[in-house]
Amino acid sequence: MEAPARAHARSLYRSLLRELPTRPITQSPSPLRSSIRSHFQSPTNSTTSSPEYTLARRQEMEQAVQYLRAQRTYGALLERYNPGADMSEEERVRLSARKVGMDMPETWYGKGEVGEDGVLRFKGKKE
């Protein structure tokens, strides 16, 4: 492998790793990272060293980097513009009331409990 191609492969490898979710340093590398590393380290044999094959593999890796970057951006945008997506129903109702300047009294919503089916049920109005 010539120097520019080697530098491009190293750049692709780093780009792929940069787009993957991070793990704490104390943990061993994820199987995906290990697989990517072995893919880039594996020597090419005579049947797969054709320029067309090398170009196709490089384009696949570039597309993978673009896909992972788009997924990361999508997740960040989803979190930014849908902040209540991971809230409980009770918290979402309380914050909706706060948006219009009201505070939900505890006597109205009581102490709700989430059932086994994931639906929030209230015990009824407190007296």
Per-residue pLDDT reduced to its tens digit, 102-121: 877 665 555 666 677 777 66
Positive or negative: CA dihedral 18, 19, 20, 25: positive
Q: What angle do CA 61, 14, 49 make, to 5 degrees?
A: 45
Q: Write the DSSP symbol of residue 111.
A: S
Per-residue pLDDT reduced to its tens digit, 41-84: 765 555 557 888 878 888 888 998 999 999 999 989 998 888 77
